[in-house]
Copies of this chain bind each other. A is one copy, B any other.
Amino acid sequence: MTITLIGAGNVGYHLGKRLYKKGMTIHQVYSRQIGNAQLLAKKIKAKPTDDLSKIDGQADLYLIAVKDDVIALVAEELGKNSVLKNKLFAHTSGAASSQLLARHFKRYGVFYPLQSFSKTREVKFSTIPICMDARKKKDRQLLQLVGAKISKKVARISDKERAILHVAAVMVNNFSNHLFYLGQQITDAEQIDFDLLKPLMLETVLKIDQHSPYDMQTGPARRNDEKTIKKHLAYLQKFPEYVQLYTLLTKSIQHAYRR
């Protein structure tokens, strides 16, 4: 299996390294910044380029791991190259439609590793779900095969399902992270060590592996402890912008258990 990687950002970087490690041949690596392409290409014995017109027809699969808002542009550029016309293209985005590729290629799909990547952190790739789909059955089989090489979990997820997963991911990842930020704002303002809260934060997530969040809910909102809620709101007058969030989240929890 020979793969060409379009994009050497956070996703391209980790995906490229994992595919290479699991025995796939990475043929070319494209990045707009040649330095990024070279850096990754060296690690995975591929050829770097910063010129889309140099992407050749020697790979079986072309993974497009660029920012959502340039997928269409990149696909258009690649679509101009006649040697790529019958090749399989899949983007790695959680939010973009596969239809962005349909205009330019007959064989297209999605190969989305559902994780938040940053170059400075190694992630345990084997547990990352690969959400994949393709228009043609044999292409789905190919993506399934590649996915199973690098992860224990590969699922066929349609464009519509992926869009919904993305909303849920914003809830559980982006919004939770923001709550962590608010927690730190509070402890920092009072010169209390934020690290004191980290084991609790970790346990909150670890619990969800075996229990439902519904069953694991604790705290003043859950037990309708109005006295503590009032105390907290009084304290939060120091952070007026948090009062509304605290109130709304408290109401939302109370609502969930009133049913």
Residue of B nearest to A124 (CB): B199
Identical chains bound together, number: 2
Within 8 A of B (CB), among A97-126: 114-116, 118, 120-121, 123-124
Would B235 and A163 count as touching, CB distance under 8 A? Answer: yes
Hey, what's the 0/1 contact readout for A202-232 against B, CB within 8 Å counting as 1? 1111111111111011111110000010011
Chain B residues with Cβ below 8 Å from A210 are 121
Contact A128-B199, Cβ < 8 Å, known A181-B256, A204-B176, A252-B178: yes
Would B201 and A186 count as touching, CB distance under 8 A? Answer: no
Would B203 and A170 count as touching, CB distance under 8 A? Answer: no
Would B253 and A178 count as touching, CB distance under 8 A? Answer: yes
- Give the interface of A toward B (CB within 8 A): 95, 114-116, 118, 120-121, 123-124, 127-129, 131, 153, 155, 157, 161, 163-184, 186-187, 190, 192-214, 216-222, 228, 231-232, 235-236, 241-242, 244-246, 248-249, 252-253, 255-256
Would A178 and B209 count as touching, CB distance under 8 A? Answer: no
Choose among A124, A157, A207 the residue with the greatest number of B CB atoms under 10 Å from its CB. Answer: A207
Would B168 and A123 count as touching, CB distance under 8 A? Answer: no
A166 CA to B232 CA, complexed, in Å = 9
A245 CA to B216 CA, complexed, in Å = 21
Would B202 and A190 count as touching, CB distance under 8 A? Answer: no
Would A177 and B196 count as touching, CB distance under 8 A? Answer: no
Choose among A129, A204, A210, A221 the residue with the greatest number of B CB atoms under 10 Å from its CB. Answer: A204
